[in-house]
């Protein structure tokens, strides 16, 4: 059961990570309570660091379905817990580094890190496919 809790933590961290970047975007933009009437419109008008942080949080939400599906499918198909945890933790760390690169405006490195983070769940799904054939 300890391995299952590790997988649950991976999913929880991945799901909470976009909100970290949302907070950064709002702080950088000087977000006030009155702006909460339409926060998406407010953040869409931002520039600089706030706009980049908003883009990170949007991309983080976009990548979640693939990550969650790959983790759950790998667990369901009894892929090695070590592999699931390794690729899951790599995904999380790469997504954090991706966010840092985005905030720092390091476009090329950001794209490389994005690709590497995308490969983590893809690799897990390829393992699942291999197990089913």
What percent of the chain lies above the pLDDT cut of 90? 77
Q: Sign of torsion, CA 70 119 92 98? A: negative
Kindly tell me if the per-residue pLDDT of 126 is higher than 90. Answer: yes
Kindly tell me if the per-residue pLDDT of 81 is higher than 60. Answer: yes
* 66: nearest Cα among 121, 110, 117, 26: 121
Q: Which is higher by pLDDT, 67 or 29?
A: 67
SS3 (DSSP) at 39: helix
| pLDDT the model gives residue 1 | 42
pLDDT in tens, 4-47: 788 999 999 999 999 999 999 989 988 877 767 888 888 888 99
pTM: 0.91
Domains of the chain: 2-132 (1.20.120.550)
């Amino acid at each position: 059961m300890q391995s299952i809790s590790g997988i649950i933590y991976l999913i929880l961290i991945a799901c909470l990570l976009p909100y970290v970047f949302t907070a950064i975007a709002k702080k950088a933009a000087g977000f006030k309570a009155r702006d909460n009437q339409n926060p998406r419109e407010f953040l869409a008008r931002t520039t600089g660091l706030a706009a980049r942080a908003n883009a990170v949080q949007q991309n983080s939400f976009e990548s979640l379905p693939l990550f969650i599906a790959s983790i759950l499918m790998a667990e369901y198909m009894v892929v090695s817990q070590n592999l699931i945890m390794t690729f899951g933790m790599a995904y999380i760390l790469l997504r954090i580094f991706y966010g840092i690169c985005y905030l720092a405006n390091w476009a090329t490195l950001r794209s490389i890190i994005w690709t590497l983070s995308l490969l983590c769940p893809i690799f897990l799904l390829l393992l699942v496919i291999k197990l089913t054939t």
